[in-house]
Structure 1
Amino acid sequence: MVSLQLRGVPSSHFCGGTLIHPRFVLTAAHCLQKQDPTRVSVVLGVHDLQASERSQQRFTILHMFENRYDPDEHLNDVLLLQLDRPAVLGPEVAVAPLPQQDQALPHGTQCLAMGWGRLGTHMPIPRVLQELNVTVVTFLCRPQNVCTLVPRRAAGICFGDSGGPLICEGVLQAVDSFVIRECASRQYPDFFARVSLYVDWINSILNKGV
């Protein structure tokens, strides 16, 4: 789990991400659309955003790789960040496995979403990492997305969770992309970019960049 922050600005978390290789992070393309990458810190090993934890590792962005991102349609909302050096793996920092190319994710699959996003549309962001059990749904969804709901309660991803992972059975199946109207509306599912569509593209970049 990665926190993207503005360099030198305290409590400046703005998006999440996932370490998929010691030198590469997968996040959402829209997270860096209006940010100067030279001003962004990629922070691993974070739990409490306001604490200087010994587990934290900070990196700068060496290169960014997009895949035909369409901001108007929220399509291909994935971005690979190459770090300036390899992360040190250990108990607090690990690499998330990717799915197979074009792997299906059936309706009803149980997954885990996580991040430091707002606790509600008009609420502040939390200090500590939040985790939420969610269920994959297909209604109102598109083939390019994985969509989730939390049954019987108003809960879901929110602003600041973008770019963070959807982990299903230990695998990074999707990247937090967008919500419709507001967070946890209960009318619409939450939308994630489907990682299985991009595995061959991701691997082609990893193989060049290592």
Structure 2
Amino acid sequence: MPVLGIILGFCGASIINARFAVTAANCLFYCRPSDLVLEVGDFTVPDVYRQHYRLVDFFLAPEFAMDDEPVNDIALVKTEHRILNAHIISIPTCNRPIPRHLSSDILLGSCGMGSVRPIRSRVIFPGKLQEMLFHQSVFEGITITGIITCEEHTVCTTPLVDGGNICSMDEGGPLYKINCSSRQPMCLYGIATYHKGMNIDSGDVVCNGGSYFASVTFYRDWITTTIIFNT
């Protein structure tokens, strides 16, 4: 998972061609392209060489709304120069949403920080990212007024392992369909946007209230059109 470096922090991103990557719009809302660097490399292993690319532009999804739970939270970033080996490290976007009756049969993966440990007001990051596995959920959650159905532009998820959610600073990272035979990512299905239920458990920051992703299939036409008109 490439990392989008920002002056005050960082987010995940996914390369989809030699000049463009997809991330969360909330990662860019207070930034200028000159503030940003796309760092490309293997983040599943520690201490490896990574390439850095300056950005020349970014594009927020229409009707993006910044909030504690952002809406339409997806964006494209454009690099100044072509990304080396993009044909190998890029991931295609998924064509269509998972049918509701198959939501519990399709395996989804995400890559992020997960739980982190704050020490003396500083966060100690893990040496490598970890993979988290999900099924898509038809429901966003339950309130005192009833069950809330997941919006069409959002992918709601249920983790396969309790506590296996996206967490602090995982925004912008990928949600991808997994080939069950090879366990490799097939296509980009969502972009990590927000989580619920952050708490401190034995010194770790743990998020166990749900993980929410912007739906790539919902925004696929916008992604394609934006790239065509800005290439």
Identify the residue that residue 127 of structure 1 maps to in structure 2: 127
Alpha-carbon distance in 1 for matches of 2:46, 2:34: 22
Kept in 2, the 8 Å contact 1:118–1:124? The answer is: no
> Given the superposition, is the C-alpha separation of residues 127 and 147 from structure 1 closer, same or farther in structure 2, using an over 3 Å criterion?
same
Whether 2:84 is the aligned partner of 1:83: answer no
Whether 2:200 is the aligned partner of 1:176: answer no
Q: Secondary structure at the match of 2:16?
A: strand
Alpha-carbon distance in 1 for matches of 2:81, 2:167: 30
Amino acid at match of 2:74: V
* Mapping for residues 45-56 of structure 1, pairs under 5 Å: 45-47=41-43, 51=47, 53-54=48-49, 56=50
Q: How many residues align?
A: 199
RMSD: 2.4
Q: Deviations over 1:37-90 (max 9, x none)?
A: 312210111427973x33x22111111111221113521100100100111117
Whether 2:211 is the aligned partner of 1:196: answer no
> Given the superposition, is the C-alpha separation of residues 47 and 38 from structure 1 closer, same or farther in structure 2, using an over 3 Å criterion?
same
> Given the superposition, is the C-alpha separation of residues 6 and 145 from structure 1 closer, same or farther in structure 2, using an over 3 Å criterion?
closer
Alpha-carbon distance in 2 for matches of 1:103, 1:70: 23
Whether 2:162 is the aligned partner of 1:166: answer no
Kept in 1, the 8 Å contact 2:197–2:207? The answer is: no
Q: Secondary structure at the match of 1:30?
A: helix
Alpha-carbon distance in 1 for matches of 2:72, 2:41: 27
TM-score (norm 2): 0.77
Q: Secondary structure at the match of 1:63?
A: strand
Amino acid at match of 1:64: F
Q: From the CA coordinates, give the structure whose radius of gyration is larger.
A: 2
> Given the superposition, is the C-alpha separation of residues 49 and 36 from structure 1 closer, same or farther in structure 2, using an over 3 Å criterion?
farther
Kept in 1, the 8 Å contact 2:17–2:86? The answer is: no
Alpha-carbon distance in 1 for matches of 2:133, 2:217: 20
The alpha carbon displacement at 1:118 in A equals: 4.7
Identify the residue that residue 71 of structure 1 maps to in structure 2: 66
Q: Secondary structure at the match of 1:96?
A: coil
Kept in 2, the 8 Å contact 1:134–1:149? The answer is: yes
* Mapping for residues 140-155 of structure 1, pairs under 5 Å: 140=140, 141-155=150-164
Q: Secondary structure at the match of 2:59?
A: strand
Q: Secondary structure at the match of 1:206?
A: helix
Higher strand share: 2
The alpha carbon displacement at 1:174 in A equals: 0.2
Q: Deviations over 1:1-43 (max 9, x none)?
A: 2111246xxxx75210000111001000001123343122101
Amino acid at match of 1:208: F
Is there any run of 5+ residues in structure 2 with no aligned partner, and where? 141-149, 179-185, 199-205
The alpha carbon displacement at 1:135 in A equals: 1.7
Kept in 1, the 8 Å contact 2:11–2:169? The answer is: yes
Within the candidate set 33, 39, 46, 1:43 is matched to: 39
Alpha-carbon distance in 1 for matches of 2:116, 2:139: 23
Q: Secondary structure at the match of 1:38?
A: helix
Within the candidate set 90, 98, 112, 2:93 is matched to: 98
Identify the residue that residue 58 of structure 1 maps to in structure 2: 52
Amino acid at match of 2:172: G
Kept in 1, the 8 Å contact 2:2–2:13? The answer is: yes
Alpha-carbon distance in 2 for matches of 1:36, 1:180: 28
